[in-house]
Amino acid sequence: MIQDKNYVEPEEDDEEEEEDVSADDIKAILRFLSPFAAPYKGLLAFLGVLILIEAGLNFSFPLVTQYLIDEGLIKKEWRALINSLLFMGIAALAVSVVALIADYVYTRLFTQMTKDIRQHLFDHVQSMSMPFFHTTPTGTVLSRFSGDLVALEAGIVGVVPQFIMPFMEVIYATILMFMFDIWLGLIASLIFPLILWWPRIFARKAFIAAYEKRQTEGRLIGAVQENVAAQPVIKAFGLAPRARIDFSALNTSWFGIARRTNFASALVERTAQTGLYVIHIAVFALGAYWAYTERITVGTIIAFEGVFLSMGYALTNVTQYVPTLAQAAGSIHHLNDLLAVKPTMVDPPDAGELKPFEREVRFETVAFSYPGSSFRTEGLDVAVPKGSFLGIVGPSGSGKSTFLNLLMRFYDPSEGRVTIDGTDIRTVTQESLRRQMAVVFQESFLFNTSIAENIRMAYPTATIEEIHEAARQAEVHDFIISLPAGYDTVVGERGGQLSGGQRQRVAIARALVRNPALLILDEATSALDAATEAKLNDTLRKIAETRTVVSVTHRLGSVVTADRIIVLEHGHIVETGTHSELLRQDGLYATMWSRQQSARRVVAQDDDEEEEE
Ligand code: ADP
């Protein structure tokens, strides 16, 4: 179990791939699957019974064939002929019905299990704390859902038709062959080493090539993904011809590898087939000779022939299933790694609900550093009384967002504590803590649904009036109703149909509709023009009269009216006070302020000159 440790995925290239399945792999697969199979014990038992019936019926066919030929055809016994044909007809019908039911049961069962595994995996990812998402590449999480789950599904859905059924067939065919004739049975048994061992020479090559092929395909997908995302840059810099050449080179290398892989797989099948032919001819020649010399009956050699061939194909089927199973075992290894990562921020067992915020939020000598990072913030002593507006400013990388991460309990302080009305936020449930907060991030992530739904998300029972009111406060209502579909406008993937500023205002409406006790803003107005920002700041100021607002910003204009501003530098609070107090201190804040003011004057002058022209 990996506890309190970030999930570090091995490089894809380092992943050991095995073409073989060891006993440990089988154990790992069974151990992984057993909790998912447990709810369906009854169905599994039923499937087992169906498979046994099917195998039993199949077992009877060669025996009846032998009887039909020897008694019915050669001895010309009319009743034997009719009886065996009748039996075959009924058995064929029965086996088809049983097989059909078995198909329905196993496909349903294993698809359901795949669905359960996917859901379990998703729920697990949902339960991860923020540090996991900060340190785990998205691609790694995605490939667990795409590559690994798909390989696992192939492994479990294929187990009945590709493994259990052929395996049963091999068992009863072997018994039958020895029953028909021990010597023929012995010669026919040579098929085992020939099909199971001989093709392996090529199977190993095929497997390694298949692995290389998948790697190259991964790179191809990566290249397409990057290309689509980089279209603005590609278009603007005229990089399309170069992109085409790069892609073509990668595609050509895929061609070489894929050609080798496909040919090697064909060779594996071909060698198995050749082995089958060789033994087949040997057995048939000997059997025919013995039938000719009347050592065995004609019925025996014909029935034997049928059994031998179907066993040969069943064996080939099993050998082809081995790589599928090996890949499923590899995937289970990856899934187990992911599932072993435990959330780092867990509620203590006796965690209570955080009572409605009444007095103050307080940072008490808080210190913190990210795992593996040299950045450290310390000596954070801050009190935010209810109904006040706290501004947090400072140069980029000074620890402003980190302050919010600690406040929202995305991370826990390494020293000191964060309290709300005197309660350490680590002692209450995260759900009850975050229920009292609403946050607007700099990256205003919108979901690909309507604007109304995006706003309602933060407060599912919000009425349409409340949604409109929140949008009005966020200065976005007029814009929304000017759209042809109004609040029903679907915003596109990541809200891509809206401009940055529009997205940001919808995100602000989403936070406001929640009517939070504590409103947290992380560069929430960075994408807005000066006029809209000024209007929004008035709204936020009003909100702060009853609510509490903590606002991180690099635009000092947004916090001039704050009740208190803290100035961070290198993770430390270097100044604190109101806007005018800080100007009087003539320190970092005053320098930042005058720099921003003169920059603004330059912009304003440019605007004026443009207007005059
Ligand atoms: P600001 O918001 O003031 O720009 P941040 O609080 O985002 O600064 O970052 C402070 C420092 O912490 C930076 O040096 C940044 O690289 C580092 N940092 C931020 N987030 C993480 C993280 N999840 N893991 C490791 N280091 C981080």
For residue 480 the two structure tokens come to 């929304």
For residue 301 the two structure tokens come to 């050699």
- Ligand 1 closest atom vs CA 370: 25
DSSP string computed for 215-248: HHHHHHHHHHHHHHHTHHHHHHTT-HHHHHHHHH
Average pLDDT over residues 155-179: 90
DSSP string computed for 144-176: IIIIIHHHHHHHHHTIIIIIIHHHHHHHHHHHH
- Residue 459 carries which side chain, given as an amino acid letter? Y
The answer to whether the beta carbons of residues 542 and 573 sit under 8 Å apart is no
The answer to whether the beta carbons of residues 392 and 361 sit under 8 Å apart is no
For residue 171 the two structure tokens come to 């068992």
- Ligand 1 closest atom vs CA 394: 3
Average pLDDT over residues 152-165: 90
**Which residues, listed in sequence order, are joined to residue 393 by a DSSP beta bridge?**
567
The answer to whether the beta carbons of residues 407 and 426 sit under 8 Å apart is no
- 232-269: burial string, b at 16+ Cβ within 10 Å, e else: eebeeeeeeeeeeeeeeebeeebeebbebbeebbebbb
Phi-psi region of 160 (alpha: psi -120 to 50; beta: other; left: phi over 0): alpha
DSSP string computed for 287-308: HHHHHHTTSS-HHHHHHHHHHH
The DSSP symbol for 181 reads -
Residue 428 pLDDT exceeds 90: yes
pLDDT tens column, 267-282? 887 888 888 888 889 9
For residue 57 the two structure tokens come to 């019926």
Highest mean pLDDT among 69-73, 491-495, 570-574, 609-613: 570-574
The answer to whether the beta carbons of residues 392 and 400 sit under 8 Å apart is yes
With H, G, I as helix, E, B as strand and everything else as coil, classify residue 362.
strand
The answer to whether the beta carbons of residues 388 and 548 sit under 8 Å apart is yes
Mutate to test the pocket of ligand 1, among 370, 378, 410 (most ligand atoms within 8 A of CB): 370
Mutate to test the pocket of ligand 1, among 132, 375, 404 (most ligand atoms within 8 A of CB): 375
d(CA 476, CA 532): 10
pLDDT tens column, 130-146? 889 888 877 778 878 88
**Which residues, listed in sequence order, are joined to residue 567 by a DSSP beta bridge?**
393, 575
CA of 377 to the centre of ligand 1 (A): 10
Give the number of other Cβ atoms within 10 Å of residue 37's Cβ: 17
CA of 402 to the centre of ligand 1 (A): 6
Pick the range with the lowest mean pLDDT from 204-218, 236-250, 377-391: 204-218
Phi, psi angle pair for 550, to nearest 5°: -120, 120
For residue 524 the two structure tokens come to 């929430």
Residue 612: pLDDT band with limits 50, 70, 90: low
pLDDT tens column, 93-105? 999 999 999 999 9
- Ligand 1 closest atom vs CA 396: 4
CA of 418 to the centre of ligand 1 (A): 19
d(CA 483, CA 450): 12
CA of 400 to the centre of ligand 1 (A): 8
CA of 523 to the centre of ligand 1 (A): 14
141 burial (CB, 10 Å; 0-12 / 13-18 / 19+) is middle
Residue 613 pLDDT exceeds 60: no
- Residue 287 carries which side chain, given as an amino acid letter? G
Residue position matching structure tokens 């890949």: 327
Mutate to test the pocket of ligand 1, among 133, 402, 573 (most ligand atoms within 8 A of CB): 402
CA of 93 to the centre of ligand 1 (A): 70
| Helix segments in 293-399, DSSP class H | 298-340
Can you give the pLDDT at residue 53? 93
Residue 193 pLDDT exceeds 90: no
pLDDT tens column, 322-353? 878 888 888 888 899 899 999 888 899 998 99
- 372-393: burial string, b at 16+ Cβ within 10 Å, e else: eeeeebbebebebebbbbbbbb
Global pTM reads: 0.81
With H, G, I as helix, E, B as strand and everything else as coil, classify residue 87.
helix
Q: State the maximum Cα–Cα separation within the chain, in Å, rounded to a whole number.
A: 120
Q: How far is CA 176 from CA 58, 63, 192, 193, in A?
A: 11, 8, 16, 19
Instruction: Give the contacts of 594 (CB within 8 A, at least 6 positions apart).
Output: none
- Ligand 1 closest atom vs CA 404: 6
For residue 109 the two structure tokens come to 């069962």
Average pLDDT over residues 304-316: 87
CA of 538 to the centre of ligand 1 (A): 29
Residue 534 pLDDT exceeds 60: yes
- Ligand 1 closest atom vs CA 395: 3
CA of 298 to the centre of ligand 1 (A): 84
Which domains, and CATH codes, for the chain? Answer: 15-339 (1.20.1560.10), 360-588 (3.40.50.300)
Task: Using alpha carbons only, give the angle 421, 423, 429 rounded to the nearest 5 degrees.
Answer: 120
Phi-psi region of 598 (alpha: psi -120 to 50; beta: other; left: phi over 0): alpha
CA dihedral defined by 100, 104, 110, 116, rounded to 10 degrees? 180
Residue nearest to atom 13 of ligand 1 (CA): 397
Residue nearest to atom 1 of ligand 1 (CA): 397
Average per-residue pLDDT in the chain? 87
Residue nearest to atom 19 of ligand 1 (CA): 402
- Ligand 1 closest atom vs CA 552: 2
Average pLDDT over residues 396-420: 94
For residue 523 the two structure tokens come to 């560069």
- Ligand 1 closest atom vs CA 402: 6
Pick the range with the lowest mean pLDDT from 16-20, 279-283, 317-321: 16-20
Pick the range with the lowest mean pLDDT from 330-334, 513-517, 589-593: 330-334
Could you report how far apart the first and last alpha carbons of the chain are, in Å?
Answer: 69
- Ligand 1 closest atom vs CA 398: 3
d(CA 117, CA 104): 20
Helix pair 240-292, 200-229: axis angle to 10 deg = 160
Average pLDDT over residues 80-94: 93
Query: What element of type H or E holds 366?
Result: strand 360-369
Pick the range with the lowest mean pLDDT from 205-209, 328-332, 563-567: 205-209
How far, rounded to the nearest angstrom, does the alpha carbon of residue 146 sit from its chain's CA centroid? 7
Residue 607: pLDDT band with limits 50, 70, 90: low
Higher pLDDT, 492 or 413: 413
Can you give the pLDDT at residue 14? 41
Residue 34 pLDDT exceeds 80: yes
Instruction: Give the contacts of 74 (CB within 8 A, at least 6 positions apart).
Output: 297, 298, 299
Ligand 1: residues whose CB is within 6 Å?
Answer: 134, 370, 373, 375, 394, 396-402
CA of 584 to the centre of ligand 1 (A): 30
Query: What element of type H or E holds 543?
Result: helix 530-546
Can you give the pLDDT at residue 437? 92
- Ligand 1 closest atom vs CA 411: 23
Residue 606: pLDDT band with limits 50, 70, 90: low
Mutate to test the pocket of ligand 1, among 129, 401, 408 (most ligand atoms within 8 A of CB): 401
d(CA 569, CA 539): 29
d(CA 307, CA 317): 15
The DSSP symbol for 524 reads T
For residue 528 the two structure tokens come to 């807005």
